[in-house]
Amino acid sequence: MTDANLMTVPDAAADPARRKRSEALYFAVRNPKLIVGGTVLVALLLLAIVGPYLTDNPPNDYVGPKASPPSGDYWFGTTTFGQDVFSQFVHGLRTTFVVGVLGGGIAALIGMAVGFTAGYRGGRVDEFLNMVTNIVLVIPTLAVLLVVSAYLKARGVLVEGLFVGFTSWPWAARAIRAQTFSLTARDFVDLARLSGLRTRRIIFREIAPNMSSYLVMTWILLFGGSILIAATLDFIGLGPTNGTSLGLMMNNAVLWSALQLGMWWWFIPPGLGITAVVGGLYIMNVGLDEVFNPRLREL
Amino acid sequence: MRRYFTRKFLIYLLTFFFAVSIDWAIPRFMPGDPVQSMLSRAALHPESATAMYDYYSNSFGLDVPIWRQYLNFWGSLLQGDLGTSVWLYPQPVSSVIANAIPYTLALMLPAILLSWWAGNSFGAFAARRKWLDNTALPFAYILNSMPYMWLGILLAWLLGSVLDIFPLSGGYGYGLQPEWSLEFIGSLLKHWFLPFASLFLVGFGGWAIGMRNLIIYELESDYSHYLTALGAPQRLIRRYAFRNAMLPQVTGLALQIGVIVAGALVTEIVFSYPGLGNLILQAINNEDYFLLQGAFLFIIIGVLIANFVIDMVYVLVDPRTRTGMRGATS
Amino acid sequence: MSVQVKDLKVYYRTLRGDVRALDGASFTIADGEIMGLAGESGCGKSTLGRSLIAIDGRMRYVGGSVSLDGAALPLDDQAAMARHRFTAVSLVPQYAMSAMNPTRKIGKLVTDLLRSRGIAPDTVLGEFRRRLELVGLSTDVLARYPIELSGGMKQRVVMVISTLLDPSLLVADEITSALDVSTQKAVAEAVVEFRDRGFVASTIVITHDLSILVQMADSIMIMYAGKPVERASTDAVVSSSRHPYTRLLLSSLPEVGVRYEEHRLSGIAGRPPSLLNPPPGCRFRDRCPLAFAKCAEEPPFVEVAPGHSAACWKA
């Protein structure tokens, strides 16, 4: 139908598309959820980028007095060993973003590849991919990670991100499959198929653009999920072996009895940082959903 | 219908096979040698060490070709034999795990089921009710964004350390022996509450948000509009919306179960709760890979059973799968 | 005179202000009359249909009245309006394929609906079964889920449900647009049959497809840019239409069965004016081949022949 319009009245066709985009923008800049979530996220991202330059203390060196509460010298206080918590926090925040982008990105790529193929091809291919998805879903991530970490004595953030990405895609694949499935039944996809376009072109030119907003939202959820999974891994000591991370900070705090000693400055910042990043992402996601789906806007 | 069950069953069987094979690989592919590391801690004479090494290799079944080890593993697994713990030598892994399982189940089952039920009910109630949507939902978002262990740490610090209402760690009081006495059960409950609450709260937030969004979608669907056009009261429309929104939440439970289990494990670690999570941490720290293997085996079996049950429940609650017109996508 | 609509105005709230989607419509429909309502998309026909059933949050009731058998409908009070729905005014929706809750058996759905409206199901279910058989469905469908029925079957079930309580006014919104030609004909015949049997008093059939109206409607009302432009018996509209827009519509319809919406642009040059801030005067004048100076003044919708109204200075 849109194609018919395009051919007959160019100005009419360009207009609704532009209007739709500008309308999305209009709602985007007025959506409080999107603004709040986005602001929190950007602020933390800036802190993660700039923060490490604000302090001269390497995150893991014993630089200061032991177990001192926040002060002018050590903004977030120090650990039992005299490490600078602020320095650990900003470096850990960096790790968090890297793991989220990487893990979420890889999971989104795999999820899309599996989801598009299963949803578009259907039949045997679909059944096979469904089975693979099910298996990955049920296999305990931790067990696999143990074997992997056995081989890689020195693990960096990249390895962790890759690993999280490779294990957290199943739900995304299922969701994208269902969406692709319903889009494949539409006229314009039939038309593309009849006109002899190759499968990959149909998926990238016809199907993906029509669910782009959905894909963006899926990626955001995977982003947040990856951060939480990585925090869990760090917490049980399966995270990066070099550098620092927010999960590792919490692990050390619990390990060295920060709870019993009342050293709240040691374990509050890392958890708060993760909660703020993930919460910002999730709230932004709901905001985006309202922008893209007019039906959800509250009137 | 039968085809559906057969297919499901085959998939589960295959998954079980894969998962157990990975599980088997854990101690074999670990760096270093579990027996060596155990012996090095004992600091023996070199010659007696060699003898001990042979003895332990034999008793752990590590002195045969690897394919043989794999077959033996399945064989003894089917007999319920999970090997011997290195850390708590010579206790069998199965009995070490059997002591931990009740704690983990008592923590996880109520937390998962109650948070699912309460979260869904609350989310459905909050949807399209402006004041609740604006006041309570942000809290649900924050809860849902918290790493499990951090909420645990916060609760432990506030209620355990600062206010000193609940104990900080352990499964029961230090001076007590497990027995059927009021004192012991009271102590159990007191120690159980904080880990349970932190698991419950994170889950509650997630389910409430999911349900709220699903209900809004359902209320905007064609069948809701048609009922409105025929003058049906909101009560009926919301009832239908709730029923239909529950279906994806059942599937969601299956999708989330792995993450929830991982969350429960780290929560146990925060509270030094004597369940599987703590056992796994101890096993990692003590390089007790046989114990690790056994603990994971139980987790694999538990997750598989949970998924299977959810699949069956789904068939019961979604008529579309029952009538055989369309197989469930899950 | 069973249905009387007087100067009904319903606008859409948008970011840029109100869109005057329905900007004053007055007409009457007699008992037993099937009135076709046609026009390009965006002409206000669907808004009119919707307003008669439920004005939702995005719409704003501006003015005018609708009375049914002499009693006014409380259009701007949704709670009061709910009591009239189903019993007095009813809808066969465009989305009949997805109108029924997919997880409820059809029999249960109808029972739930009746109960919720305070009607004992037993008093009506017998008639429901009879009517299902009348439209060629077995009563087995009561024990089936919507997904088990074909598109045509769902369409018929929805028609039977909507008319179950013998409403005075039935709004049928684009009920044929999703169907193939032979099913379209069957649905059109069913609408006529329901009228003949007295299941509904007056019917409004909203459609893009003028040719389907020729088969089933007693009278036709053509709308353009939020206002009715011509209203007459079907024969009169087809053979002696007075409004230039109607004539252009008919001439752009080469054969029966071709929907003109897809062809409108080749048929009639230009586009309807924006309804955000419509220009004064006749809204069709920019596209009208007959336009002259007087068209800057708005033409009244008046009777130009017995039972034939039009809004054009040259009619």
Q: Give the ipTM.
A: 0.89
Yes or no, beta carbons of C271 and A23 under 8 Å apart: no
Separation in Å, CA of B275 to nearest CA in chain A:
15
Residue C112 pLDDT > 90: yes
Residue of B nearest to A177 (CA): B329
Does A125 contact B at CB distance below 8 Å?
no
Highest mean pLDDT among A279-283, A292-296, B168-172: A279-283
Pull the structure tokens for residue A137.
């879903």
* Chain B positions in Cβ-Cβ contact with residue C90 (cut-off 8 Å): 229-230
Residues 21-80 of A with CB under 8 A from C: 23, 26
Phi, psi of A268 (to 5 degrees): -70, -50
Among A138, A163, A248, A274, most B C-beta atoms within 10 A, so best to mutate, is: A138
Among C13, C14, C19, C58, most A C-beta atoms within 10 A, so best to mutate, is: C58
> CB count, 10 Å around CB of B108?
26
Yes or no, beta carbons of C162 and B230 under 8 Å apart: yes
Residues 127-156 of A with CB under 8 A from B: 127, 131, 134-135, 137-144, 146-147, 150-151, 153
Q: Where are the domains of chain A?
A: 19-279
Domain ranges, residue C237? 3-96+167-310
Instruction: Give the pLDDT band (50/70/90) at residue A277.
Output: very high
Tell me whether residue C132 is in a domain.
no
What's the confidence (pLDDT) of residue B314? 79
Yes or no, beta carbons of C265 and A1 under 8 Å apart: no
Separation in Å, CA of A40 to nearest CA in chain C:
28
What's the confidence (pLDDT) of residue B39? 65
Highest mean pLDDT among A281-295, B117-131, B289-303, C259-273: B117-131
Domains along the sequence of chain B with CATH = 93-329 (1.10.3720.10)
What's the confidence (pLDDT) of residue A299? 42
Q: Which CATH number fits domain A19-279: 1.10.3720.10, 3.30.56.10, 1.10.1580.10, 1.10.10.10?
A: 1.10.3720.10
Yes or no, beta carbons of C265 and A9 under 8 Å apart: yes
Residue of C nearest to A1 (CA): C262
What's the confidence (pLDDT) of residue B324? 46
Stated length of chain A: 299
Instruction: Give the pLDDT band (50/70/90) at residue C91.
Output: very high
Give the DSSP H/E element, type plus range, for residue C228: strand C227-233
The percent of residues in chain C predicted with pLDDT above 90, rounded, is: 28
Amino acid, res. A37: G
- Touching A (3+ Cβ pairs <8 A), the chains are B, C
What's the confidence (pLDDT) of residue A176? 86
Tell me whether residue C9 is in a domain.
yes
Among A6, A187, A299, most C C-beta atoms within 10 A, so best to mutate, is: A299
* Chain A positions in Cβ-Cβ contact with residue C262 (cut-off 8 Å): 1, 4
C-alpha A173/C-alpha A169 separation (Å) is 6
DSSP state of C202: E
Phi, psi of C87 (to 5 degrees): -80, -45
Ramachandran bin of C66, using left for φ above 0, alpha for ψ from -120 to 50, beta for the remaining angles: beta
pLDDT (tens place) for every residue of chain B, 330 residues total = 677 778 778 878 888 888 888 778 776 766 656 666 666 655 556 666 677 677 777 766 666 777 777 888 888 778 777 777 777 777 888 888 888 888 888 898 999 999 999 999 998 888 878 788 778 888 888 888 888 888 888 888 888 778 878 887 777 777 777 777 777 888 888 888 888 999 899 889 889 988 988 888 888 888 999 999 998 998 999 999 998 888 888 888 887 887 888 888 888 888 888 888 888 888 877 777 788 888 888 888 888 888 888 888 877 777 766 654 443 333
Instruction: Give the pLDDT band (50/70/90) at residue C183.
Output: confident
Q: Identify whether the C-beta of residue C148 lies closer than 8 Å to the C-beta of residue C140.
A: no
What's the confidence (pLDDT) of residue C267? 60
In the β-sheet with C3-14, what is the strand arrangement from edge to edge? Answer: C17-29, C3-14, C59-68, C71-72
Instruction: Give the pLDDT band (50/70/90) at residue A102.
Output: very high
First to last CA, chain A: 29
Separation in Å, CA of A143 to nearest CA in chain B:
7
What's the confidence (pLDDT) of residue B287? 74
* Chain C positions in Cβ-Cβ contact with residue B314 (cut-off 8 Å): none
Tell me whether residue C125 is in a domain.
no
Pull the structure tokens for residue C177.
């647009």
Does A282 contact B at CB distance below 8 Å?
yes
Instruction: Give the pLDDT band (50/70/90) at residue A119.
Output: confident
What's the confidence (pLDDT) of residue A13? 35
What's the confidence (pLDDT) of residue A188? 74
C-alpha B243/C-alpha B218 separation (Å) is 10
Among C101, C157, C174, most B C-beta atoms within 10 A, so best to mutate, is: C101
For B276, residues 6+ apart whose C-beta sits below 8 A from its C-beta are B97, B100, B101, B104, B265, B268, B295, B298, B299
What's the confidence (pLDDT) of residue A204? 77
Q: 3-state class of A84 per DSSP?
A: strand
**For the domain that residue C40 is a member of, what is the CATH number?**
3.40.50.300
Does B326 contact C at CB distance below 8 Å?
yes
* Chain C positions in Cβ-Cβ contact with residue B320 (cut-off 8 Å): 102-103, 145, 147
Instruction: Give the pLDDT band (50/70/90) at residue C238.
Output: confident
**pTM score, whole prediction:** 0.81
Separation in Å, CA of A1 to nearest CA in chain C:
8
Which residue of C57, C266, C271 is in closest CB contact with A299?
Answer: C57
Yes or no, beta carbons of B148 and A229 under 8 Å apart: no
**What is the rounded radius of gyration, in angstroms, for the C-alpha atoms of chain C?**
20
Yes or no, beta carbons of A236 and B281 under 8 Å apart: yes
What's the confidence (pLDDT) of residue A297? 60
Q: By a Cβ cutoff of 8 Å, what residues of chain C touch chain B?
A: 53-54, 81-87, 90-91, 93, 95, 98-105, 112-113, 116-117, 145, 147-148, 158, 161-162
Tell me whether residue C198 is in a domain.
yes
Q: Which tens digits make up the pLDDT trace of C56-86?
A: 878 889 988 999 888 888 888 888 888 899 9
- Touching C (3+ Cβ pairs <8 A), the chains are A, B
Yes or no, beta carbons of C265 and A8 under 8 Å apart: yes
What's the confidence (pLDDT) of residue A110? 93
DSSP string, C142-163: GGS-GGGS-HHHHHHHHHHHHT
Yes or no, beta carbons of B147 and A142 under 8 Å apart: no
Higher pLDDT, A243 or C51: C51
- Number of domains, chain C: 1
Which residue of C86, C101, C147 is in closest CB contact with B223?
Answer: C101
C-alpha C72/C-alpha C78 separation (Å) is 14
Which residues pair with residue A244 across a beta bridge?
A: none
Query: Quick one: angle between helices A32-54 and A264-292, nearest 10?
Result: 140
How buried is residue B198: exposed, middle or buried, by Cβ count under 10 Å (0-12/13-18/19+)? Answer: buried
Q: Which tens digits make up the pLDDT trace of A189-211?
A: 777 777 777 777 777 777 777 77
DSSP string, A179-202: HHHHHHTSHHHHHHHHTT--HHHI
Mean pLDDT of A244-258: 85
C-alpha C278/C-alpha C271 separation (Å) is 13
Among A126, A146, A155, most B C-beta atoms within 10 A, so best to mutate, is: A146
Does A224 contact B at CB distance below 8 Å?
yes
Q: 3-state class of C61 per DSSP?
A: strand
Tell me whether residue C77 is in a domain.
yes
Mean pLDDT of C165-169: 91
Does B319 contact C at CB distance below 8 Å?
yes
Does B225 contact C at CB distance below 8 Å?
yes
Separation in Å, CA of B153 to nearest CA in chain A:
8
Tell me whether residue C197 is in a domain.
yes
